[in-house]
Amino acid sequence: MKKNDELLEYSIPQLLRWRVKNSPKRPALKEKDFGIWNTYTWEDYYDYVRKTALGLKAIGLDKGDTIAIISDNIPEVLFAAIGGHCLGAISAGIYQTSMPAEIAQILGYLKVSVVFCDNQEQVDKVLDVRDEIPNVKKVIFEDPRGMRNYMSDDWFIDIADLYKLGEEEHAKNSDLFESLVDQGKPDDVCHLCLTSGTTGLPKGTKLTHKNYINMGLQLTEVDPLEPTDEYVSFLPFAWIGEQMNSFGVAMATGITLNFPESVETAMSDLKEIGPHFMFGAPRIYETIRSEIWLKIDQSYWLNKLIYNYFIDVGLKAANYRMTGKSMPLGLKFKAWLGKQMIFRPLVNQIGFLRLRRAYTGGAALGPELFTFYQAIGVNLKQIYGQTEIVGIAYMHRDGDVRPDTVGKPLPGTECMIADDGEILSRSDSVTPGYYELPEKSEELLEGGWLHSGDAGFIDENGHLVVIDRLSDVMHSKKGEMFSPMFLENSLKFSPYIKEAVIYGNKEDFVACLINIDPVVVGKWAEDRGISYSTYMDLSSKDEVYELIMEQVLDVNSRAEKEHFKIERFALLYKLLDVDDGELTKTGKIRRKFVQERYQNLYDSLFDKSVDAQKVEALFTYQDGQSTKVKTTIKFFTVKGA
């Protein structure tokens, strides 16, 4: 294999070609379709990219143009993106959950000329805003079901027809494609990745071939991967977390990408594959933790007793493994016994048996949840980065895992803490800037360093500790600093709490709005004969308030300082939702938006004279109809606070 510095001289299409020369028959992509896994070798992969690239050229995509992708994860997403890269065009991912108005805004901002959609649902969204996107020349679709009435309109083209155009172009000039691939440069911008948009509209982050490949190489220098390793592609392609694996890691290492049959079957398909490494947002690991808790809760009393005993053993053993210290013989034996009896079968059920390493990023994962996974034998490690540095810049090393940090910089990454506590980074994976936003780009890269917008520090072990967003760090009325994110993650370790939003900046105390987990709390209520009809009804039960009070008290009991303690809380009558603008596409809380939306509840949280408040909730359904529901929200002052 070539040295890392030589691979950095390639564009993504050129590296794909290099893979074909070295391992043409090795599996590159697998897709589950109608229950059967279909395989694409590296040779097949390159052939489809060629057909797509030349087909795109035939319909008018040119160097510097942008092709947008709105699709679930399927091989055609990569064919379209890398096919565009072969022409010198730029790809851009848009979340499948985006609504038509949002899609129109993004297509206009990024000056998109071609759109790829996987099915009629996404095509219809683009069609709804056709008059608002005059730059779009063609809409390509992959699934022809439901598209019969659209075929008379030449604005649409089936990807099968695009392939035919590509084959015709190749037949006319067999050297054209290779000459196009040869023209690529590692520093060319190849993709526009949208930021999460926690503070407003997303920005298009310009990323180069070298940005992606460098990240993949540096990650695997720390945690080597074999070409025979498997990865399941289930994260949204529009998120940097998926691109860094499909563009960066896969090309740098030659691993196999597996595409589930659908979003709904992703977790069951993951069990079939049994990946060797995995990357996911905290919400995924929180959900799996809740599922494990439910399985144990539904088990026999003896199983619960054994599980609780060995989870305590596992937590003690995890502290030794994570720090690389030698484990006492007695603990080592009990940990082995617990693994064979309890945790190995449990891990096998969730598809993690072959997993050597799992990574989490995109938001902080609470130390308690982090240690839990290590206790059951899942080598979960925190990574830290941002879209503007291809997702990963810092990570834990095996034997040096500290739950309250995000690890050390990747090789070739420099870190500096600014005077105001902001985390600054520098590496070959740093973006050249934002698309069409020169002032924002200059601010982002001021002084030659990437400004993260996060506050943090380097601890005595050389690990980076992330406190919170600089804009989110809060201070009590007395000026004492605290991190809302830390408290939120502590609360979310409870299986009964799905989401939490901490407030208290410039206030006398800390308060919180809480979403209960409807599945876990629903099961808890059923076991106790508590009847309920809806989420709103369940969250208003006095018994549920008492349950959540216990969870808040537990978090308070572990608070290092008094001003970290939560003094008041209320349970929201609805789940925070992406479609309502309360969460970003990656599940981050849009704190300011939530406060403004529930300003009346916020005010009552900090008014101890208010015990309850009547509210009128507006619910909008997918068909556009809406209904108003009246309910009463109760406010609780935490015992002993």
Q: Which residues pair with 141 in a beta bridge?
A: 117, 158
Whether residues 148 and 43 share a domain: the answer is yes
- Specify whether the CB–CB gap between 379 and 324 falls below 8 A: no
C-alpha dist (Å) from residue 480 to 192, 466, 477: 40, 18, 7
Q: How buried is 533 (Cβ within 10 angstroms: 0-12 exposed, 13-18 middle, 19+ buried)?
A: exposed
3-state secondary structure of 98: coil
* Residue 112: domain span: 4-274
Indicate whether 197 and 306 sit together in one domain. Answer: no
- Whether 545 and 636 have beta carbons less than 8 Å apart is answered as yes
Q: Regarding beta strands 277-280 and 27-33, do their DSSP bridges make them parallel or antiparallel, or are they unpaired? A: unpaired
Compute the distance between CA of residue 383 and CA of residue 358 in angstroms, rounded to an integer: 10
> Three-state DSSP class for 66?
strand
Q: Read off the DSSP letter of residue 389.
A: G
Q: Are residues 148 and 266 in the same domain?
A: yes
Q: Indicate if 376 and 513 belong to the same structural domain.
A: no
Q: What is the CATH number of the domain that holds 589?
A: 3.30.300.30
Tokens standing for 42? 């590296």
Q: How far is CA 297 from CA 303, 307, 377, 546, 596, in A?
A: 9, 10, 20, 19, 38
Residue 136 covered by a domain: yes
170 and 112 in a single domain? The answer is yes
The total number of structural domains that make up the chain: 3
11 by Cβ neighbours in 10 Å (0-12 / 13-18 / 19+) ranks as buried
Residue 291 lies in a domain: yes
* DSSP-derived secondary structure letter, 149: G
Q: Do 326 and 414 sit in the same domain of this protein? A: yes
Residue type, 140: I
Amino acid at 196: S
- Do 137 and 95 lie in one domain? The reply is yes
**pLDDT, position 619:** 67
pLDDT of residue 620: 65
Predicted pLDDT at 198? 52
- Specify the pTM: 0.83
Does 513 lie in the same domain as 459? no
Distance CA 26, CA 227 (A): 9
Which alpha helices (H) appear in 231-362, and where do they start and end? 240-243, 250-253, 266-273, 282-297, 301-323, 329-338, 344-349
Q: Using N-to-C axis directions, what is the helix angle for 301-323 and 329-338, rounded to 10°?
A: 130
Last residue of a domain, one of 251, 274, 297: 274
Q: What is the DSSP letter of 448?
A: G
Question: Do 470 and 455 contact (CB within 8 A), yes or no?
Answer: yes
Do residues 211 and 118 share a domain? Answer: yes
Enumerate residues 6+ apart whose C-beta is below 8 A from 635.
568, 569, 570, 604, 605, 610, 611, 612, 613
Contact 230, 250 (CB under 8 A): no
Rounded CA-CA distance 404/483 in Å is: 13
Half-sphere exposure of 479 toward its Cβ, with a 13 Å CA cutoff? 0
Mean pLDDT, contiguous 10-residue spans, the chain (641 residues): 74 97 96 93 98 97 97 97 98 93 94 96 96 96 91 94 97 96 97 76 93 94 92 92 93 94 86 90 84 82 90 92 89 94 89 90 76 92 92 91 90 93 95 96 96 91 88 85 85 90 91 93 92 91 94 87 86 87 80 88 91 80 70 87 59
What is the C-alpha to C-alpha distance for residues 193 and 238, in angstroms, rounded to an integer? 7
Last residue of a domain, one of 274, 291, 316: 274
Q: At what angle do helices 100-109 and 120-128 cross, to 10 degrees?
A: 70
H runs (alpha helix) in 32-186:
42-58, 75-86, 100-109, 120-128, 159-172, 176-182
- Cβ partners under 8 Å of residue 422, min gap 6: 451, 452, 453, 454, 455, 470
Give the residue from 233, 255, 274 where a domain finishes: 274
Asked, for residue 476, whether it belongs to a domain, the answer is no
Q: Could you give the 3-state DSSP secondary structure of residue 556? A: helix
DSSP 274: -
Residue 168: phi and psi, rounded to 5, are: -65, -45
Contact, 102 vs 108, CB < 8 A?
no
Distance between CA atoms of residues 75 and 227, nearest Å: 18
Phi–psi pair at 283, nearest 5 degrees: -60, -35
Asked if the structure places residue 411 within a domain, the reply is: yes
Cβ atoms < 10 Å from Cβ of 153:
11
Cα–Cα dist 4/145, whole Å: 44
Query: Which residues are within 8 A (CB) of 446 and not within 5 positions of it... i.e. 6 or more apart?
Result: none
- Residue 507 domain flag: yes
Q: Is residue 16 part of a domain?
A: yes
**Same domain, yes or no, for 75 and 151?**
yes
CATH number of the domain encompassing residue 48: 3.40.50.12780
| Cβ neighbours for 36, distance < 8 A, ≥ 6 positions apart | none
Residue with tokens 């990240």: 215
3-state secondary structure (DSSP) of residue 259? strand
Residues 400, 420 share a domain: yes
Query: Residues 94, 202: contact at Cβ < 8 Å?
Result: no
Amino acid at 49: V
Do 507 and 554 lie in a common domain? yes
DSSP 565: S
Beta-carbon contacts of residue 41 (< 8 Å; ≥ 6 apart) = 24, 25, 26, 27, 28
CB 505 within 8 A of CB 563: no
Contacts 24+ apart (CB under 8 A), 470-479: 470/420, 470/421, 470/422, 471/199, 472/591, 474/502, 474/503, 474/504, 474/505, 475/505, 475/506, 476/504, 476/506, 476/507, 476/508, 476/509, 476/510, 476/563, 477/506, 477/507, 477/508, 478/563
H or E segment to which residue 586 belongs: none
Q: 413-420, long-range: CB within 8 Å, 24+ apart, which pairs? A: 413/218, 415/458, 415/464, 416/449, 417/456, 417/457, 417/458, 418/451, 420/455, 420/470
DSSP state of 397: B
Q: Is residue 384 one of the residues assigned to a domain?
A: yes
Decide if 65 is inside a domain.
Answer: yes
Q: How many CB atoms lie within 10 A of CB 298?
A: 11
Instruction: Give me the phi and psi of 622, to 5 degrees please.
Output: -65, -25
Reduced to 3 states (helix: H, G, I; strand: E, B; else coil), residue 77 is: helix
